[in-house]
Amino acid sequence: MADAKTIDPKEGPGVRLWNWLTETQVWTSVFRHGRVNSDRNRVLVMLSNVFLHLHPVRIRKSGVKLRYTWCMGGLSFFLFLVLTFTGLLLMFYYRPTLEYAYTDIVGLREHVPLGIMREMHRWGAHAMVITVWLHMFRVFMTGSYKPPREFNWSVGVIMLVLTLLLSFTGYLLPWDQLAIWAITVGSNMARATPFLGHEGPGAALLRLGDVPLIHAYDDARFALLGGSFVGEGALLRFYVLHCVGLPLVIAVLMAVHFWRVRKDGGISGPL
Instruction: Please report how close the Cβ of residue 191 comes to other proteins at its closest, in angstroms.
Output: 9
Report the 10 Å Cβ neighbour count for 254: 19
> Which CB, 30 or 178, lies closer to other proteins?
178
Of the pair 20, 181, the CB lying nearest other proteins is at 181
CB of 223 to other proteins, least distance (A): 5
User: Considering beta carbons, is residue 134 or 182 the nearer one to other proteins?
Assistant: 182
Cβ at position 110, least distance to other proteins in Å: 26
Q: Looking at beta carbons only, is 232 or 264 nearer to other proteins? A: 232
* Minimum CB distance to other proteins, residue 46 (Å): 37
Beta carbon nearer to other proteins, 18 or 217: 217
* Binding footprint of other proteins on the chain (CB under 8 A): 181, 184-185, 188, 218, 222-223, 226-229, 231-233
- How far apart are the C-alpha atoms of 183 and 231, rounded to whole Å? 10
Residue 48: half-sphere exposure toward Cβ, Cα within 13 Å = 14
* Closest CB to other proteins among residues 159, 172: 172
Ramachandran sector of residue 31 (left: φ over 0; alpha: ψ -120 to 50; beta: rest) = beta
- Kindly state the smallest distance separating residue 157's Cβ from other proteins, in Å: 25
CB of 235 to other proteins, least distance (A): 12
* Residue 143 vs 231, nearer CB to other proteins: 231
Cα distance between residue 199 and residue 188, in whole Å: 10
- Measured from the CB of residue 190, what is the shortest distance to other proteins in angstroms? 11
Contacts 24+ apart (CB under 8 A), 69-72: 69/138, 69/267, 70/134, 70/135, 70/138, 72/131, 72/132, 72/134, 72/135, 72/138
